[in-house]
Structure formats: structure tokens, C-alpha cells
Amino acid sequence: MKKNLANTPPEVGATLQRMRLDRNLTLEDLSRTAGVSKSMLSQIEREKANPTIAVAWRLANALGVGIAELLSAETPKVDVIRMLEPHETPTLPGEHAGYVLKILGPMELAGKYEWYELSLAPGGALVSNSHDPGATEHLTLLNGSVEVEVDGVKKKLKVGGTARYEADKNHAIRNTGKTEAKALMVVIHR
């Protein structure tokens, strides 16, 4: 009996594994970034399970690709310039704390070099526990009014200025103004 390919779900396991390995990500790295369990990722890669649309979307965002590229069995051509649409940029929403963090850097550099666009609502704050030993952050204020606190020491940052600080200590970035603040943040892990 001939298999009807039109009625068969795509086998995304090999594509997912290739994309993950191309980016030097472990199952744990991708699990943490995409918010999908490690066991589910393993099952998908071994073709024991197919992801739901929601899971496929989270995986595609975490890998920095379009969902169609993840679901395609074809090996994609490498573009000279890889363009990401705004909706393809992974975002870490912290609405309860008044911030939105857009992940601008490629996932394969996570844990080494990371860069973000940080938006803070008036009164919003991004409060972080200490990162791994030797980690540093570099915060450049694009607009608004921001105060940086590291290990109890507070300093105001001027628009266009950059704060460089040890991120292996508890730290916070707070919007002290009445309008939204935007900044670019680079995290370097040692």
C-alpha cells in the first residue's frame, strides 16, 4: 500500500537536530530558551513525537528561524543576508515587572555573548540575581530615565551613556521616569 504523503505530518526531528547542532546548542540549552521540556525535544528529534504548532513556533523562535523553515524537510539554502521579521525576534515578557526583553543575538551565542533590547515601563524594573562568575553587562540608554543598581550601589544613566558593571552580583535596572525607557544590553559570560 502506497503512503499518501499529503496526509503525513512533516518529520521535523532531523531538521530540529541539525539546526540545534549547527548552533552548538545542547538539548538543555534549547529546552531552557524555548520553554519546551528536554524529554519532548528528545522525542521530537528521534521522530517519536511531532510538535504542536505552539511548540514548533517556540522552537523556531528560539532557533531564530521561521516556522516554515523548521517544518521543512529540505536543507535550506544559506542566504548571504539572513533577515528576521519583527515577529521572529524572541521576546521575554516581564509585564508583571514592567519590562520587555527582546533577544537580538543569535541563540548559538547564548551563554557566551548575548544582546538585548530592553523596554521599561514607567516604574518598571529588570531585577536579576547574580549571573555566572565573571559575567559583565553593558547597558546603553537610548531614551528615558534609568537607574542601575549593583550590589546596593545606585547610579543614574544619561541618554547615550553606557553603564558597564559586574553581573555576577545582584543587580537591577529601573525606569525612574514618567515615560518608557529603552536601552541596549550586552551580557558577556566568561
pLDDT in tens, 124-133: 999 999 999 9
Q: Other C-beta atoms within 10 Å of 123: how many?
A: 12
Q: What span, in angstroms and rounded, lies between the C-alpha atoms of 163 and 48?
A: 48
Rounded mean pLDDT of 47-57?
Answer: 86
The sheet carrying 136-143 orders its strands as 91-94, 99-103, 113-120, 181-188, 136-143, 162-166
Three cell numbers written together for 142: 537610548
- Among 59, 66, 21, 68, CA closest to 40: 59
CB 56 within 8 A of CB 70: yes
Q: What is the pTM for the complete model shown?
A: 0.62
- Place 73 in a pLDDT band, splitting at 50, 70 and 90: low
pLDDT at 118 over 90: yes
Rounded mean pLDDT of 25-44?
Answer: 89
Query: Could you give the angle at which helices 53-63 and 13-22 cross, rounded to 10 degrees?
Result: 20
CB 65 within 8 A of CB 56: no
Mention every residue, 6+ apart, whose C-beta is less than 8 A from residue 128: 167, 170, 171, 172
* pLDDT score for 75: 58
* pLDDT score for 69: 85
CB 183 within 8 A of CB 118: yes
* pLDDT score for 131: 92
Rounded mean pLDDT of 7-35?
Answer: 83
- Place 10 in a pLDDT band, splitting at 50, 70 and 90: low
Percentage with pLDDT > 90 across the chain: 44
Q: Which one is the CATH code of 9-71: 3.30.420.590, 1.10.260.40, 2.60.120.260, 1.10.357.10?
A: 1.10.260.40
- Place 8 in a pLDDT band, splitting at 50, 70 and 90: low
pLDDT at 23 over 80: yes
Tell me the β-bridge partners of 182.
119, 143
* pLDDT score for 152: 93
Write down the domain spans for the chain.
9-71, 89-188
Superfamily of domain 89-188: Jelly Rolls (2.60.120.10)
